[in-house]
A and B are shown apart, each in its own frame.
Chain A
Amino acid sequence: MKRRTFVKGAASLPAFSALAGAAAYAQSKEIRMIESGGKSGDSIEVGYIEPLTKKTGIKVIRESPSSLGKLRALVESGQTSTVMFELGSGVMVQARKLGLIEKVDWDAVAPAAMFPEAKNEYGFGYQYFSTIMAWRAGQKEPKTWAEFFDTKAFPGKRCVPDYPHYCLPFAVMATGVPADKLYPLDVDAGFKKLGEVKRDISVWWKAGAQPPQLLKDNEVQYVICWSGRVVGDPAFGMNFAGGMADLSYFGIVKNSTPGDKAAAYKLMHEMSLPENQAKAAEVISYTGPSPELDPLLPKDRLWQFPTSKQNKAVQWFQNAEWWADNGEAVNKKWEAFKLNL
Chain B
Amino acid sequence: MSSARQSTGFAFIAPLLVLMLVAFNAPIAYMLGLAFWDKAHGFTLEHYAGLLEAPVYLRVLGNTMRIALVATLANIVIGYPLAHWMRGLQNRARLVAIALVVLPFWVSILVRTYAWIVVLGNGGLVNRALQWLGLTDQPVQFLYNELGVTIGMANVLLPFLVLPLFAAMIRIDDRLLQAAASLGAPPRTIFWKVYFPLTVPALAAGTLLVFMLCLGFYVTPAILGGGRVPMVSNLLDTLINQIPRWEQASAISTILLIVALVIFAAYRRLDRKASAT
Interface residues of A (CB under 8 A from B): 67-70, 72, 91, 94, 162, 202-206, 217-219, 327-328, 331-332, 335-336, 338-339, 341
Contacts and interface: CB of A to CB of B under 8 A. Distances in A.
B4 interface: no
B193 interface: no
Given A204-B226, A204-B228, A332 B243 contact: no
Nearest to B63: A339
B270 to A, nearest CB: 32
B228 A332 contact: no
Given A204-B227, A336-B56, A217 B245 contact: no
Which of B60, B123, B241, B245 is packed against the most chain A CB atoms within 10 Å?
B241
B230 A335 contact: yes
Given A68-B241, A203-B227, A335-B60, A217 B246 contact: no
Contacts of B198: none
Interface in B121-153: 121-123, 141, 143-144
Interface residues of B, number: 27
A209 to B, nearest CB: 12
Interface string B205-241: 0000000000000000010001110100001001011
Contacts, number: 65
Given A335-B230, A339-B59, A217 B121 contact: yes
B60 A206 contact: no
A72 B246 contact: yes
B242 interface: yes
Interface in B228-264: 228, 230, 235, 238, 240-246
B251 to A, nearest CB: 14
Contacts of A202: 141, 144, 226
B242 A68 contact: yes
B56 A335 contact: yes
21 contacts: A67-B242, A67-B244, A68-B244, A69-B241, A202-B144, A202-B226, A203-B226, A203-B228, A204-B227, A204-B228, A206-B222, A206-B227, A218-B123, A219-B143, A219-B144, A327-B243, A328-B243, A332-B54, A335-B56, A335-B235, A338-B227
B116 interface: no
A25 B54 CA distance: 52
Which of B56, B121, B141, B244 is packed against the most chain A CB atoms within 10 Å?
B244
A205 B222 CA distance: 9
Interface in B19-73: 54, 56-57, 59-60, 63
Given A68-B244, A203-B228, 16 more contacts: A67-B244, A68-B242, A91-B242, A162-B227, A203-B227, A217-B117, A217-B121, A217-B123, A218-B123, A219-B121, A219-B143, A335-B56, A335-B230, A336-B59, A339-B59, A341-B228
A160 to B, nearest CB: 9
Nearest to B54: A332
Contacts of A217: 117, 121-123
Contacts of B241: 67-70
A94 B241 CA distance: 12
Given A203-B144, A217-B123, A339 B244 contact: no
Which of B54, B59, B144, B226 is packed against the most chain A CB atoms within 10 Å?
B226
A69 B241 CA distance: 4
Which of A70, A91, A341 is packed against the most chain B CB atoms within 10 Å?
A341
Contact of A338 (B57, B122, B230): B230
Given A72-B246, A204-B228, A331 B238 contact: yes
A106 B240 CA distance: 32
Nearest to B50: A332
Interface string B89-111: 00000000000000000000000
Nearest to B243: A328
A206 B144 CA distance: 13
B244 A69 contact: yes
A217 B143 CA distance: 13
A313 to B, nearest CB: 31
Given A217-B121, A219-B121, A339 B226 contact: no
A204 B145 CA distance: 11
Nearest to B56: A336
B140 to A, nearest CB: 13
